Amino acid sequence: MIEMQNLSFGYSGDEPLLADMSLNLPPGSFHFLTGPSGAGKTTLLRLCYADLLPTAGKMLAFGEDVTGLSRDGIAALRRRVGVVHQDPQFLEHLPVAENVALPLIVSGEQVDMRALGDLLGWVQLTTHSRVMPQALSGGERQRAALARAVIMSPDLVIADEPTGNLDWDMSMRLLQLLIELNRSGKAVLFATHDMNLIRAAKQQVQARVLRIAGKRLQLAGADL
Ligand SMILES: Nc1ncnc2c1ncn2[C@@H]1O[C@H](COP(=O)(O)OP(=O)(O)OP(=O)(O)O)[C@@H](O)[C@H]1O
């Protein structure tokens, strides 16, 4: 589904930040991505949804080389990937329900109100559907961002340190939602520093742990 072949990436022309990375994310898989601050986790995630393009090597998304994709091709790819950022941004003048439905609205699709209600229920924001984003807690913001990320039924959900600002209980709640998504067949790629969270997840789901170290991507062992 997502395949990197000897991929390198650098923001400037000199030393690459990520070097000679090879990776295969099969459908339905669950991967954590870890590594020190500044190692390039967010950068790697952005490469996965063609927000950045490799400077060397190949990046294939859903079988297609992203470097050759047209604007429409990139738009089609992005529909298949839902992204949750560490600090999700919302349109502050719209209530939660409209923000969650925004990907449908901007792509001109009909909003199925019942499905939207079900989705808000799943992230436990039913009573917050008419609330403005600035009134949400950190955990509620992340759950709204997760609902928005999955409203287009993506095949892959990417979460970039979504629990970075949450306490343990909230982190576990968010993790649980991602595990449920994975059980429903979606691939998950989850960047986190939190080894306790990874340990907790591994008791419930077959997750592999990728680590960026020294510009390279490693598959972490069972020592976690
Ligand atoms: N747009 C950019 N232009 C230039 N350099 C950048 C850009 N974005 C990130 N960087 C640099 O690339 C390096 C990796 O950043 P990135 O955000 O991918 O790391 P990270 O592993 O996600 O870090 P953290 O865990 O702190 O979020 C950092 O040194 C950062 O300063």
DSSP notation for 92-150:
TTS-HHHHHHHHHHHTTPPP-HHHHHHHHHHTT-GGGTTS-GGGS-HHHHHHHHHHHHH
Question: 6 in helix, strand or coil?
Answer: strand
Q: Which residues line ligand 1 at a C-beta cut-off of 6 Å?
A: 11, 17, 35, 37-43
Look at residue 102 in the predicted model and tell me its pLDDT.
Answer: 97
Look at residue 53 in the predicted model and tell me its pLDDT.
Answer: 95
Once rounded to an integer, what is the mean pLDDT over residues 157-161?
97
Tell me: the pLDDT tens digits for 59-92? 999 999 999 899 999 999 999 999 999 899 999 9
Ligand 1 midpoint to CA 49 (Å): 16
Ligand 1 midpoint to CA 204 (Å): 31
Q: Which atom of ligand 1 is nearest to the CA of 40?
A: 18
Measured by CA distance, the residue closest to atom 31 of ligand 1 is 38
Segments making up each domain of the chain, as ranges: 89-153
Measured by CA distance, the residue closest to atom 29 of ligand 1 is 38
Name the percent of the chain in helix, strand, coil, to the closest 5: 40, 25, 40
Instruction: Return the higher-pLDDT residue of 107 and 158.
Output: 158
Tell me: pLDDT of 221 over 90. Answer: no
Look at residue 15 in the predicted model and tell me its pLDDT.
Answer: 86
Measured by CA distance, the residue closest to atom 3 of ligand 1 is 11
Q: What is the mean pLDDT of the chain?
A: 94
Look at residue 177 in the predicted model and tell me its pLDDT.
Answer: 94
Tell me: pLDDT of 133 over 60. Answer: yes
Q: Which atom of ligand 1 is nearest to the CA of 46?
A: 18
